[in-house]
Amino acid sequence: VTMHQKDCDGYPNEGSSERCKEEMNVMWYLAIVQLVQQEEDGTYFINKTEIEDFPSFQYRGILLDTSRHFLPLKAILNTLDAMAYSKFNVFHWHIVDDPSFPYQSRTFPDLSSKGAYHPMSHIYTQSDVRRVLTHARLRGIRVIPEFDSPGHTQSWGKGTPNLLTPCYKGSSPSGTFGPINPASALSYIFMSQFLKEVTSVFPDPYFHLGGDEVNFSCWQSNPDVRAFMQKMGFGKDYTKLESFYMENIVNITSNLNKTSIVWQDVFDYHERIPKDTILHIWKGLPAQYKAETSRMTKAGHRVLLGAPWYINHIAYGQDWRISYNVQPLNFSGTEEQKKLVIGGEVSMWGEYVDATNLSPRLWPRACAAAERLWSDESQTRSAEAAFPRLQAFRCSLLRRGVRAEPLSPGHCSDEYRGI
Ligand SMILES: *[C@@H]1O[C@H](CO)[C@@H](O)[C@H](O)[C@H]1NC(C)=O
Ligand SMILES: *[C@@H]1O[C@H](CO)[C@@H](O)[C@H](O)[C@H]1NC(C)=O
Ligand SMILES: *[C@@H]1O[C@H](CO)[C@@H](O)[C@H](O)[C@H]1NC(C)=O
Ligand SMILES: *[C@@H]1O[C@H](CO)[C@@H](O)[C@H](O)[C@H]1NC(C)=O
Ligand SMILES: *[C@@H]1O[C@H](CO)[C@@H](O)[C@H](O)[C@H]1NC(C)=O
């Protein structure tokens, strides 16, 4: 098998060309695996062939949420296997959130001992994390963790006193807590120490800082926060306070030599984030995310498209076709702007997903986005034409042990015996 390879220059932007070559080697291996065919008598063979192939987008991600439900290590490793089969190359690990904090920190062990669903069985130890990193690397997959703040941090508060904002009812604390307290110097000291640890645990040059869906009502109720707003000259505009917090966190992260990714909210609130910050679009229908992509790339930011691929949402029938018909570059902008779209991401949020239904909800539906991010958008391929290939691919996933759900009535025509 002779194969050609696109130049590794600038791919991925911050990664070394070694990293690119490593990923390409895995891609070659996977391309060869795809060529394996079976004779009538059951023997396997590969026909002589020549392949020239490369991805349209450098970032082809899947998000797993291990906070709303804990996912056992095995479920994550199995997902990485299936990702490699469809050439996804980024695992976005939304590792903690409001409901639970399963990451076992070396510096702050109370975060998981008090914030996880269970301090022993529902955590990721340092050795678990290393297993995920190695398993991913051997499959050409980067692991980008997300430690979302200042919102989505209820679970952080359990093991870290004085981190969250105490909410007030009238003139006294109500006993509940809001987002991380942006008015306290202690918050930034904690975040510096914590980010120092996690940026060293996860080697990828990108790091996801979240920054979405901050509810201002608790900040508004707190007299210390109000005094801080006044001191800083923010008036009554709490988006300025959120911006101030994120700017600090992005600065800390950039001093740790990482490129920050943040959710679109951070861009929507202000323009002071560094140009090299990557913006992750998650909101809206096509008209809205297209306009957002235009605005962000016009401002010179690199963009990651998540909005059209929230496939934790399910609908009766073949909803993969919606994912397939997305056109990431069909927005109003110059060629330079189009180059700033680094790729996209499929999200599998965990409100209604745990290890029992993760695989069938992801596969083969995620493959529609995988092809969209790999193949050239200008080669218009209809969902109609993709359907038989996707069906065959689903059978091949089953043979490899991935519990991929059916796409339509029918059966797999080989030795697969069913689950
Ligand atoms: C493999 O190659 C042979 C010889 O070129 C050809 O006759 C055959 O159709 C090919 N098989 C497949 C499944 O592509
Ligand atoms: C914000 O939090 C307050 C108090 O917890 C709650 O009443 C309100 O519904 C929240 N607002 C939004 C938009 O979620
Ligand atoms: C973040 O860093 C930039 C560049 O060094 C600096 O101008 C800015 O004041 C910093 N922001 C905060 C909130 O510290
Ligand atoms: C960041 O990179 C600079 C320049 O290469 C280096 O001096 C510094 O030690 C690095 N910092 C960290 C935290 O890795
Ligand atoms: C791009 O999207 C618009 C709708 O926003 C649609 O009318 C147009 O046909 C699309 N372009 C291509 C090449 O499909």
The predicted pLDDT at position 415 comes to 53
Supply the pTM of this predicted model: 0.92
The predicted pLDDT at position 15 comes to 46
The predicted pLDDT at position 181 comes to 98
Residue nearest to atom 2 of ligand 4 (CA): 257
Distance in Å, CA 213 to ligand 1 centroid: 55
Q: Alpha-carbon distance 267 to 291, whole Å?
A: 13
Could you say which ligand is closest to the alpha carbon of residue 175?
A: 2
Q: What is the pLDDT of residues 354-404, one digit of tens each?
A: 999 999 999 999 999 999 999 887 766 799 999 999 999 999 899 889 999
Check pocket membership of 288 for ligand 5, CB cut-off 6 A: no
pLDDT under 70: residue ranges of the chain: 1-21, 271, 379-380, 414-419
Check pocket membership of 408 for ligand 1, CB cut-off 6 A: no
Take residue 265 and report the two structure tokens written for it.
């909210």
Q: Alpha-carbon distance 248 to 237, whole Å?
A: 18
The predicted pLDDT at position 3 comes to 43
Residues with a catalytic annotation lie at 213
* Strand locations in 278-359 (E): 278-281, 303-305, 341-348
Query: How many Å from the N-terminal Cα to the C-terminal Cα in the chain?
Result: 35
